């Protein structure tokens, strides 16, 4: 009805005057949303204009019991089909976002939300990035390119996806050590592949142990990783309650000589 439309418009005008005047500036949507939550909480603590003895928040909480529950949140995004370049990058607007190397040359679905970019192949989410509003910039997830290092380990030194890669302190120490030795880049690539197989947590713990034990050679670190990820062997149950043999078998290796005989072994 008409009066509802006018009421909504007045509420919008009230919020605009209280929260957006004078004009504000934020670096990103997260900062804006955090500020809005704090300001709304501040407004909610004020006295209600018609019930001065109650706050706006307290009356709202009382009213919530009479409201319909919220339905499923609207999944609002713009979707388009994009082709992944040979550089493992998919473009949206004027920026490029990386995907796992195995999808290079494939067509994937790109979903653009207000604050994030999601890339989907089939029904599987293959990459997620914070949405950027810059111009002509490539945004890399280094792990997307690790499988390519198996063929070109030298790219680990100056490849664009790895230049600003922040690894845990222990892994960085091992990386610096390996990079100073011949063939060390290939060893560190193998360590990264171990992280993809067994998870970053296990590899990080193994690297911490290796640095502490000063055993930073690749085979020693892989051995530590295997110790961390292999299943725990349950102890054997107590066998005293089982029937016991009265005649203990005796080992007699000469029995195997009977295998050379032609007669049947009884």
pLDDT tens digits for 56-73? Answer: 899 989 888 888 888 888
Separation of first and last alpha carbons in the chain: 102
Q: Are residues 57 and 127 in the same domain?
A: no
Residue 1 pLDDT exceeds 60? no
Instruction: State the pLDDT at residue 12.
Output: 85
94 pLDDT above the threshold of 70: yes
Residue 204 has pLDDT above 90, yes or no: yes
Whether pLDDT at 2 is above 80? no
Q: Does 265 have pLDDT greater than 60?
A: no
Reply yes or no on whether the pLDDT at 251 is more than 90: no
- 205 in a domain, yes or no? yes
As for how many domains the chain has, the answer is: 3
Domain shared by 135 and 149, yes or no: no
Q: Quick check: helix, strand or coil at residue 89?
A: strand
Residue 133 pLDDT: 87
> What domain range includes position 186?
145-229
Q: Are residues 133 and 205 in the same domain?
A: no
Can you tell me the distance from the alpha carbon of 54 to that of 67, in angstroms, rounded to the nearest whole number? Answer: 20
Residue 250 domain-assigned (yes or no) = no
CB burial string 78-113: b at 16+ within 10 A, e below:
eeeebebeeebbbebeebbbbbbbebbeeebbbbee
**142 has pLDDT over 60:** yes
Based on the fold, state whether residues 182 and 200 are members of the same structural domain: yes
In the chain, the percentage of residues whose pLDDT exceeds 90 is 44
Statement: residue 106 has pLDDT above 80: yes
């Amino acid at each position: 009805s008409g009066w509802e439309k006018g009421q909504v418009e007045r509420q919008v005008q009230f919020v605009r005057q209280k929260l957006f005047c004078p004009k504000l500036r934020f670096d990103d949507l997260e900062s804006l949303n955090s500020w809005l939550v704090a300001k709304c909480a501040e407004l909610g603590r004020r006295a209600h204009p018609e019930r001065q003895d109650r706050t706006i928040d307290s009356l709202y909480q009382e009213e919530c019991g009479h409201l319909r529950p919220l339905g499923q949140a609207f999944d609002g995004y713009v979707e388009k089909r994009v082709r992944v370049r040979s550089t493992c990058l998919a473009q949206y607007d004027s920026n490029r976002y990386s995907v796992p190397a195995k999808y290079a040359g494939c067509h994937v679905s790109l979903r653009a939300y207000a604050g994030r970019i999601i890339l989907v192949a089939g029904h599987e989410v293959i990459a997620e990035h914070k949405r950027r509003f810059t111009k002509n910039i490539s945004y890399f997830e280094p792990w997307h390119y690790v499988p390519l290092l198996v063929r070109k380990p030298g790219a680990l030194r100056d490849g664009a996806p790895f230049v600003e890669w922040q690894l845990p302190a222990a892994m960085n120490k091992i990386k610096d050590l390996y990079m100073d030795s011949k063939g060390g880049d290939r060893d560190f690539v193998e360590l990264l592949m171990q992280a993809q197989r067994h998870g970053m947590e296990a590899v990080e713990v193994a690297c911490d142990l290796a640095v502490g034990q000063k055993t930073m050679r690749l085979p020693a670190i892989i051995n530590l990783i295997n110790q961390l990820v292999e299943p725990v062997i349950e102890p054997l149950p107590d066998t005293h309650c089982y029937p016991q043999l009265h005649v203990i078998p005796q080992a007699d290796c000469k029995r195997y000589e009977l295998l050379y005989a032609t007669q049947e072994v009884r």
